[in-house]
Structure 1
Amino acid sequence: MDLITPFFEAFLLAMKATRPLAFQLLSAVGSVHSSTAEDCASLASRLSLPDTAIHETTFVPAGTTISLPDNHPSCTIPSQVSDVDICRVVFLTTTGPQSNISYEAWLPLKWSGRFLGTGNGGMNGCIKYGDLNYGATQQFATIGSNNGHDGTSGAPFLHNPGTIEDYVYRAVHLEAELGKSITEQFYGRKHTKSYYLGYYDGIVAGAPAFDFISLMYWTGQLFIKTGTNETKRFLSSAQWELVYTDIMKQCDALDGLEDGILEDPNQCQYKPEGLICSEGQSGTCLSAEQAAIVSAIFAPVRGRDDKIIYPGLQPGANSTDRLLNGQAHQYPSDWWRYVVYNNTDWDPATLDLEDYEAAMQQNPWNVATWDGDLSGSRDRGVKVLHYHGLEDNAISSHNSERYYEHVSQTMGLSPADLDGFYRYFRISGMAHCRGGTGANMICGNPETFSSYDPDANVLAAIVRWVEEGVAPEYILGSRLTASGEVDLQRRHCKYPTRNKFKGAGDPKKADSWECI
């Protein structure tokens, strides 16, 4: 399946409805196709899709708040505003005796000719309505699905291989097939370019969950290492804050500037031993056992023959509340309970190497997704823009580097050779797809700010690369003040180069840094 998996926390989306960005993106196509509300009203009668029931085709005027009473409560999306005139298509595709997939297509009446597929994150079965709106706002025919189940739990996988198959790949595959067919029926012509997942022209992959089963095992092992908050080895929030402060003390200046942001966590060989409590010490400190646990958190998880299963958490990521909170994480718990063992009583506190090996042997529909041969995508002319936040507190950014190197070695290609179709950017100061301490706003999802310039907007960047042949050399990130003004900008480097402060100039200006 090449790089394609529904586990990408990736979005080919732009920021809120903005005429300048829409104009810029459309300039490569040169024209906008317009449809009418009447075209939407008649669409249902013109659609004939296999194993699919069309629930509604509704014209939605710009500014309408769409109520979503049937959306699963865990998705926390009770409504969504449509910022432009759209034809909203709601449909259900049956994939097996006990499995089906819910879809929505938002078709803007003013259309650029482009098609956009959107995805999900984690084990979610939640249509990303914000993504549909932003895609439509940028005049993309946009489609999304619930991945074959409703809500954020993996419970629907229990004794239901059809739903697992939907989740692993089929929902995305059918999203492309059905979405493109609906697009052609509505507008009366085929799309010109397509973006995101599947057999598309351009892909933006943000914080992707490559090597999925290993990721689940690593996530579960963090709980095994730290224990619950009732164990002596458990680190409190105050102790983790002590660790994070110590990491910055040891490593922040390695990029040439002490600013609370690590430009390359690989340079940080963190040693927590200085935090071990001395005899009779009062205040916050670590026991020797806790210091060893901290080192283990930042080290790879290994299997038999000391082989690396998954890299450690990168220094600089604050995962106190997410992965190190003393509770078993839902995703690995759900995977082993509802997929691997079909046993709701399985205890995540018992997760061990044999459980990992059982899951890898099962590997339904190649959910592991660790194929380093992207020649199929390359030969079709597909472009891949891959990025990962270096403060990611859910998926180790080290794994994206590991995947890039895996592709390089598998295909026998140098970074210069890979540049023709696959480029990876490390985003310093970005947490899991959004947020963080640095210049993390690159328009990778609808909650983030970015310039309309393709150098600073990952959606515009992939469009320019695919349609004009201009590949991104860097991604310009921004950070805003509380009042919405740009406070910090940095050009995030194309891997394997890294950012370093030049030693002079305003460190908040991108020109004061260089990729080396």
Structure 2
Amino acid sequence: MRLPLTYVVAVLSYASCVRSSFSSQCLAFNPQNSIFNATLTVREYVTAGTNILFPDNDASCGRPSQAVSVDLCRIALHVPTSNRSSITMELWLPETWQGRRVLASGNGGIDGCIEYENLAYGTQHGFATVAANNGHNGTGGHDFLNNPDVIIDYAWRSLHTSISQTKSLASKFYGNTYQKSYYIGCSLGGRQGIGAADRFPSDFDGIIAGSPAVDFNHLYAWRASFYPITGKSTSANFINASLWSTIHTEVLRQCDTLDGVQDGIIEDSSLCHFRPEALLCSNGTTANCLSPAQVDIVNNIYSPFYGSDGKLIFPAMQPGNELLAASGLYSGMPWPLSQDWYRYVLLNQSDWDQATFDLADAMLADEINPSNIRTWPTTLEPFSSRGGKILTFHGGQDQQITSYNSPRLYNHLASGRDASSTQLDEFYRFFRISGMGHCEGGPGAWAFGQLGGSPAVGVPYEPSSNALAAIVDWVEKDEAPETMTGTKFVNDDPTMGISFQRNHCRYPRRNTYTGGNASNPDNWQCKYV
């Protein structure tokens, strides 16, 4: 049926009027008047489909632009946090404010990089979304040197300040009080989420905390320990990327079929007790095998890290991540994040050499515990008692933070609360994502809306398969996620279709193959075993 021309013109005129009204609302908003000493640096109306450019963004952050899918009002503010530090925060306000929800995004590493992809992701689903730079710009730690105030911003103040201001500013902009507050982050962002629940239990109602960098001081010591173990890339016993590929093949030979399926994915790496001795060179063979010294290196990498007092500093690295870690922690190069943390925060010694790292350095990190950054809560009782919910996850092939640390945190909380898994699950649910690297990537079904950017956001916005939708339903409908369905796209490209899916289980349940087509998620069950 052909619509009358007058009707079509009226509809287009109305849409144009609404768009013009929101644009005017945006350009008339003066958020800096509500924040002491704040400076407005950007205020612009952005239409759906725009690719926003960030010419002044620190190049090390690697985010020169960001496409947006909805009409929004973009606000950027410079906000002082002390007499010698400040944060830059970006608040993106979508035209349609769904459920009067606000969302904050975390950061990564030791960086001060705004995660624009999470701003776009949040506004796509109607959240007033904020992200901040943690009090400094770029991925390095130079700005921490001799400035404890910047360290405070990094440890907690940047996130707390930005979400506190967002609640107020969003309510003023839309003329309605916000209803619920959410958080999304991975790695350092995971630590920020857990830390916020501990330090400021009323900041968020729902938190997505992926691959959390908790027990932060010990984590950065553990990471620093790899360089002395592997040796320099020029050392005689160094294991290069090609040999790590051989080791990975042997890991899969020993452990891939423990779950009953040969698919290149170790469903539960805690069952894999890898023996590198199987690759020991013999009978004069020197290619694609390990020398005795190299066997010792591999065994050290896959062993827990203990202090001189015999107490655990950090759990062992899990096997299965060799292809990813070969260019990172196993590369025969200093781990830059740990090096900067020791140089500019712990030691104030800009020429410190990570090759000298020893147990004394490891113990020093936790003794100093700058700005109480450790993040190792015992109960999270104030957060849970007000109805807060945490959805956390960790990839089984994480190449930067061992996936064994997240069960350790879960068990630590259960012990601190004297709670059973059923009781802990009332507010804290942890999902092990088999075949996923650090926050994303890997051979597993790893896309489940856990962070902005493709392909994680290529899944439907439904609680069963999208972490952001799941945390909203848990908070607002008390419908907790039983499993989290992950999707593996062909070539990790949502436009090429789905390769397979898997229902990832909440800890301590284990995903168990029951027979049939392993690509069918219904042929796996979550069991206590």
Match of 1:512 in 2: 523
Q: Encode CA deviations 1:258-303: one digit per residue, 9 max, x unaligned.
A: 2111111111111111111113114211001111111111111100
Matched, 1:283 2:252: no
Distance 2:139 2:31 in 1: 34
Pairs within 5 Å for 1:435-446: 435-446=441-452
Aligned to 1:235: 239
Give SS of 1:463's match. helix
Q: Which residue of 2 aligns with 1:360?
A: 366
Deviations 1:77-120 (A, max 9, x none): 12222221111111011122321100110000111111000110
Residue 178 in structure 1 maps to residue 165 in structure 2: yes
Change (3 A) 1:53 1:69: same
Structure 1 residues 35, 407: closer, same or farther in 2, change over 3 A? farther
Matched with 2:470 is: 461
CA distance in 1, matches of 2:282, 2:409: 41
Q: Distance in 1 between matches of 2:298 and 2:480?
A: 40
User: Residue type of the partner of 1:111?
Assistant: W
Q: What is the CA–CA distance in structure 2 between the aligned matches of 1:512 and 1:474, rounded to whole Å? A: 14
The one-letter amino acid of 2:70's match is V
Aligned to 2:14: none
Specify the alignment match of 1:127 in structure 2.
114
Call closer, same or farther: CA 1:45–1:306 in 2, change over 3 Å.
Answer: closer
2:418 matched to which residue of 1? 412
Q: 1:330 to 1:45 in 2, by over 3 A?
A: closer
From 48, 54, 57, the counterpart of 1:68: 54
Equivalent positions of 1:9-408 (< 5 A) are 36-44=22-30, 47-112=33-98, 113-196=100-183, 197=193, 198=196, 199-318=203-322, 319-408=325-414
Q: Alpha carbons of 1:35 and 1:463: their partners in 2 closer, same or farther (altered >3 Å)?
A: farther
- Bigger drift between 148-157 and 34-43 goes to 34-43
Which residues of structure 1 form unaligned runs of 5+? 1-33
The secondary structure found in structure 2 opposite 1:59 is strand
Q: What stretches of structure 2 of length at least 5 have no aligned partner?
A: 1-19, 184-192, 197-202
Cα distance, 1:485 vs. partner?
1.4
Mapped to 2, the partners of 1:46 and 1:100 lie a distance apart of 14
Deviation at 1:46, TM superposition (A): 7.8
TM-score, reference length from structure 1: 0.91
* Candidates 436, 443, 463, aligned match of 1:430: 436
Identity %: 42
Q: Output the CA distance in 2 between the equivalents of 1:419 and 1:250.
A: 33
Once residues 290 and 42 of structure 2 are traced to their aligned partners in structure 1, the CA distance between those partners, rounded to angstroms, is 59
Shift of 1:45: 6.8
- Offset of 1:62 from its aligned partner? 1.7
Aligned to 1:27: none
CA contact under 8 A between 1:54 and 1:90: conserved in structure 2?
yes
Specify which structure has the bigger relative contact order, considering alpha-carbon pairs within 8 angstroms and separated by 6 or more residues: 1
Q: CA offsets per residue over residues 420-461 of structure 1, 9 Å max, x none?
A: 100100000111111110111111112213233211110011
Moved over 6 A (4+): none
Helix, strand or coil: the match of 1:110?
coil
Which shows bigger deviation, 91-100 or 201-210? 91-100
1:493 to 469, 481, 505: 505
Measured in 1, the distance between the counterparts of 2:22 and 2:148 equals 41
Q: 1:266 is matched by which residue type in structure 2?
A: S
The alpha carbon displacement at 1:499 in A equals 1.0
What is the CA–CA distance in structure 2 between the aligned matches of 1:90 and 1:156, rounded to whole Å? 21
Contact between 1:35 and 1:187, CA under 8 Å: does it hold in 2? no
d(CA) in 2 for partners of 1:69, 1:161: 29
Q: Give the secondary-structure state (helix, strand or coil) at the position aligned to 1:43.
A: coil
Distance 1:134 1:35, change over 3 A: farther
CA deviation string 1:194-251 (max 9, x = no partner)? 1014421100111110111111111110111001111122111121111111111111
Task: Find the residue that maps to 1:223 and give its secondary structure.
Answer: helix
Do the aligned residues in 1 keep the contact of 2:31 with 2:40 (CA within 8 Å)?
no
SS at match of 2:444: coil
Secondary structure of 1:47's match?
Answer: helix
Q: TM-score, normalised by structure 2?
A: 0.89
Determine the C-alpha separation between the residues in 2 that align with 1:346 and 1:323: 18
Residue 165 of structure 2 aligns to which amino acid in structure 1? L
Judge conservation of contact 2:445–2:500 (CA < 8 Å) in 1: yes
- 1:306 match: secondary structure: coil
Report SS of the residue matched to 2:496: coil
CA distance in 2, matches of 1:61, 1:325: 44
Local SS of the residue matching 2:332:
coil
Q: CA deviation at 1:57?
A: 2.2
Map Cα deviations across residues 405-426 of structure 1 (whole Å, 9 max, x no partner): 1111111111011011001000
**Counterpart of 2:225 in 1: which secondary structure?**
helix
Instruction: Determine which of 468, 473, 483 is the counterpart of 2:482.
Output: 473
Instruction: Indicate the SS of the match to 2:172.
Output: helix
Q: Distance in 2 between matches of 1:45 and 1:232?
A: 60
Distance in 2 (alpha carbons) for counterparts of 1:348 and 1:110: 50
Counterpart secondary structure, 1:304: coil
Q: How many residues align?
A: 483
